[in-house]
Structure formats: structure tokens, C-alpha cells
Amino acid sequence: MTFYEAALRVLESAGRPLHVQEITEQSIAQNMLSHVGKAPDRTMLSRLAAMARRTRDRRVIVTAKDTFALAEWAIPEDPEALAQTGIAEPNPEELLPALRAAERHPDARPENVRASGRPADRHRWHDEEESRSRRRKSSPVAELVLSLLSSAAKPLKPAEIAELVRDRDLGGAEPNAELILTLLLEENQRRIDSGRRPQFLLSKESGEVSLEQAGSDAAPSEVQAVFAAALGVPIEGGRPLLPRAPSAVAVEPLEAVNGAVRTAAKDARRSVARELRRRLIELDIEAFHKAFVKVLQALSFRELKVAKRSREGLLLTARKREGSVDLRFAVRLLRGTGAIDRRAVQELRRDLGHYSAQVGLIASAGELRGDGRAEAQSYGALTMVWSADALGEKFIEAGSGVTATHVDLFEIDERFFVGVRQEAEQAKRRRDERIRERQARDDRKSPDEAERQPAQGQEVAEGAAGGEPIADQARPEAVEGAEPPAGEFSDNVEDELAQGEGEQPKTPEAEGSGPGQPSAADRKRRRRRRRGRRGRARPAEPAAPPSGQGAAPAAPADGGPEPARTPPGENETP
């Protein structure tokens, strides 16, 4: 607590007047002071002397020099002691002669002031000096190249210069021949823009870099043209157009934007609280009472009753449940903009005992003074103060007298992008596993299947060489083991039938048929062949067999007997 509050407590406990030194010692011993300081006795004396000289609400009086008592004890006050209390006594050391004479300083005269020019001239000279220093400033690599060429006393290749610069370990980008030429080109252009001649030359024939010699008549544009040609940089208007990094669009960070929105929302809330305070000041006591009752009801207060009316305002009683405890409140409403002082807090605490309340509450649109704040925070019953803008904040919290507009504030969901990347990696991993499984399955194929595919390709090639149409060669039915589509039949049916007849096991029906009659299976295959070739162009007649060989017998009609085969040698003529 403060020095004044601690002095009141010490005097009340002592019951008699005390010297300021005793009051200070007891306050420190009982640990009453929140802040002691370097000279607590002087601070206590100044505070008590100031409170004893007050014209109203005075609680301490002076009975002797630096001796204080409570005003409620009705002890006569000593005016002479009051006049002398609080006056600092002279220090005896100040009356002693000085150890050394006072130092003499020159008088502040215009002629004693060193003038360095008018402010405007000084600023102009400073700006000119900065501009000259900026023009003189060059690249560290260019300065290093200048020193290397000066010490070498001969032209050097760009690659050699880059190696020497790399040995110096200047940091930054890794130096190479192209970077060295680019920096030298920029340095020459900087000197040309400032009205000087270029410093570095590049030979067209040897490609070596050298320093410009005194009396050189080479034009600056020609010197820059050689560097530009070596770098492949275009020249426009006598200036090389060096590639520049694309300037990024100035995008304000999302965190800064959201932070600005939150700050604006807080500022708007404070502005609304101040406007609510102004509107509450304009209300009379009855309207203020009705408005505050609505706020208390919104904040879960119940059993609101008017206990007392006065010129300053109203006194209400209410109940509110906090956790498992049901608290009884005494609420004092103060109208107008009057400041809340210590007396208002003390009166409310007296009303707490009269109405059997545990917590006190003061509501006012006025400001809270320092003594009122100290009294509310001192020992005793809990007393809360809703004043000034804090009262408007309570109205906003209760949602009374205001309307809220909710604004959606969006932020980037980092977990979403992390999940998407993980899903993409998992999908890629599964795809790679399927590819590996397919390759492993192809490697495990049997040798017969591996040999069958080249054989199929060879049959197609032989058919193309024999004059068969390409469309028929590429048909899926030509592939061995493939089923022909419905309504079609492959051209090599005869070969398939011959293979089928040679490979088909003998059935009882086939065994019973004679050598001159086809079996039921043969007739079925021939019918399928005729249905498959129906509607297609008839193939060309085969060429006549060469002499000395008999013609092949014609195929019998469906169901007819095969013609009798002529034994070899019967139709031959001698």
C-alpha cells in the first residue's frame, strides 16, 4: 500500500500520536509499503505533511513538529508545528567553505560561437558529399581486379582473374569468367555515366583484360562494345542491356494483412466503447438504470432490486452464481461524469455490510481517480469498478446497445498442403511398385511364350512377302491362339483345320466314317468357313500346277462324298 495508507494503519493500531520516524519504522517492519525507496522517512514526511495541510477530507493532523495524529481523536492541532513540518533542514556541510573556486566559463555571446554556415548550406554540402562518395563507390571485385592487373603488369585472361579472385575468398557468388566480365562492364559503364573514361579494356584477338593506358584514344562505346560482344549482350543507345532479375510483385505477407485486420478490429472495438460511454453520459439516471439492468441480466445476474435512491444514483442488490458459489452483489450506479474517489468506494463498502453482500460493484461513465483505485485495491471486501471505457466494454461483452458484424478471416492451412504432398508420394510409390511387379512378371514368363511372340511376327512378315493384303496380315485372327471376331474367320483356316485334324483325338463317329466321307467335325468347320467368308471378295484362283504334276482334286460339296483319288502314275503318259 502507499505511504499515506500505511501511516493511517500504524496510527490506528498505536492509538496515540507518533513521530514520522516511528511511523516509517513500523510500516517497514510490518511490510506494509509496496515501495520503500532510498529515503522512506523523507517520503513519509512529505506525504503526511501534504495530507495534513488539506482543507477538507483531512484525516491526519500535526500535534508537534514531525509528529502526527488522527483527526478523529479530537486532539488540538499545533499551527506553528504544521508550518515547520515538512521543511527540509539545512545541511551543515553546505555552510562550510568550498574546497575550490567556482570554475569560470565564457559567456554565451555571439562572437564566442563558432559558425559553420547556415543549416541549409550544411545540408547541401552534406548531400553533395554523399553523392560524390556514391559515384566513387565501386564493386569490391572490380577493385580487386584493378589491384591484380596492376601487380601483374600484364594482361590476364578472365579465367585467370576468376581463379585469383576465388583464391581471395571474397564470398558471394562463385566467380567465373562471365561474372568477371559482367562486373567489369558495369564498372566501366558507371565511370562513363560519371563523365570519366572506362578503366578496363578487353582485347578482341586474345580475349585478355588489361587496364587503360594514358593517352588511349579508344572510344568508350567501342570499349563497351567489345565487352558486350564477349558476353552476348545487346547494345541500345550506346549502353549495354544487361539482363536483370525479374522484379517480384510487391505482395504484402499474409501474416501482416491478418495482423492489420486484427489490429483494426481492436481499434474499432475501442472506438465503439468510447462512443457507448458518450451515449451513456447523455442518459438520465432512470434511463441509465434500465440500460444497465439489461447488461446485468445478459451477464447472468438475477434478482435485481433497487435498495436505495440518492442524488448521486441508485443502489441495487443482485445475485450471481460463480462456479459452485452463489454471490450477493451490491451495485451502485453513479450518474454523470463525476470522478470515482475514495469516498464512493468507502460508502459502498459500508453498504455491503448493511445489505449482507459479499461483492461490491460501482458503475459510472466517469473516470476512476487514483485514491479511489487505491481504496478499491486495498484490504477489505472485494470491490469492482466499471468506469469510463471499461463500462462500454461491458456493454459490448453483454451485446447490449451494439450490433455485431462477423467477418471471416482466412489463413493458409499448412496441414492441407502437407497431406496433399503425402498422398502424391504414396500414389507415386504404389505406381512404381505396380511397374516393378509387371516387369518381374514379364521376366518370369515361360520360354514357349517368349518364343511364340517372335514366331507370330515372322508369320506376318512371310504373309506380306507372299503377296497377301496387309490388312489381312494385321488382323487379330492371324495371331496364334487369338479368337476371331463374330461373323469372321481367319484366312489360314485350312492350316488350322489340318493341324486340328492331325491333333484331334479320334472319336467313335470319326472312326465309323469311311475314308471317302468327311466327319461331322469337318463339315462343321467348313460351314463356319463359308459363313465367315460370306460377303467378302473371292480370292484369286491359284495358278495352274507345273507340268509333270497332277492337279489337286476339287473339294466336294457340303455333305457330298470326296472324289476318288487317282493313284499316282495312272494318268501319266509315257
Euclidean distance between CA atoms 220 and 240, whole angstroms = 12
Q: Answer yes or no: is 494 within a domain.
A: no
Q: Which domain holds residue 169?
A: 139-240
Distance CA(269)–CA(271), nearest Å, equals 5
Dist CA 64 CA 79 (whole Å):
9
Confidence of residue 506 (pLDDT cuts 50, 70, 90): very low
Q: How confident is the model over 367-376, as pLDDT tens digits?
A: 888 888 888 8
Residue 13 domain-assigned (yes or no): yes
* Alpha-carbon gap, residue 425 to 435, rounded angstroms: 15
Is 54 a member of any domain?
A: yes
Residues 235, 293, single domain; the answer is no
Q: Looking at residue 381, which CATH number applies to its domain?
A: 3.40.1350.10
Helices and strands (H and E) in the chain: how many: 20, 12
pLDDT at residue 429 is higher than 60: yes
**CATH number for the domain that contains residue 158:** 1.10.10
Between 318 and 490, the more confident residue is 318
Backbone angles phi, psi at 312, to 5 degrees: -75, -30
Domain edge (last residue) among 240, 269, 302:
240
178 and 83, same domain (yes or no) = no
Q: Is residue 417 part of a domain?
A: no
Helices (H), 386-491: 388-398, 414-443, 447-465, 470-473
| Same domain membership, residue 143 and residue 82 | no
Asked if residue 301 and residue 212 are part of one domain, the reply reads no
Both 296 and 376 in one domain: the answer is yes
Same domain, 149 and 65: no
Kind plus residue range of the DSSP H or E element containing 305? strand 302-309
Residue 48 lies in a domain: yes
With respect to residue 103, please indicate whether it lies within any of the assigned structural domains.
Answer: no
CB within 8 A of 357, min separation 6: which ones?
317, 328, 329, 330, 351
One domain, residues 291 and 357: yes
In this structure, is residue 531 part of a structural domain?
no
Domain assignment present for 163: yes
Q: Which of 383, 398, 413 is the last residue of a domain?
A: 398
For residues 233 and 291, state if they share a domain. no
Does the predicted model carry a pTM greater than 0.85?
Answer: no
Residues 394 and 289 in one domain: yes
Q: State whether 236 and 291 are in the same domain.
A: no
Do 297 and 221 sit in the same domain of this protein?
A: no
pLDDT tens digits, residue range 32-79? 888 888 888 888 888 888 888 887 788 888 888 888 888 888 888 888
List, for residues 74-130, the tens digit of each pLDDT value: 888 888 888 878 766 666 666 666 666 555 655 666 555 554 455 555 556 666 666
Number of domains in the chain: 3
Instruction: Judge if 226 and 298 occupy the same domain.
Output: no
| Concatenated DSSP letters of 503-516 | HSPPPHHHHHS-TT
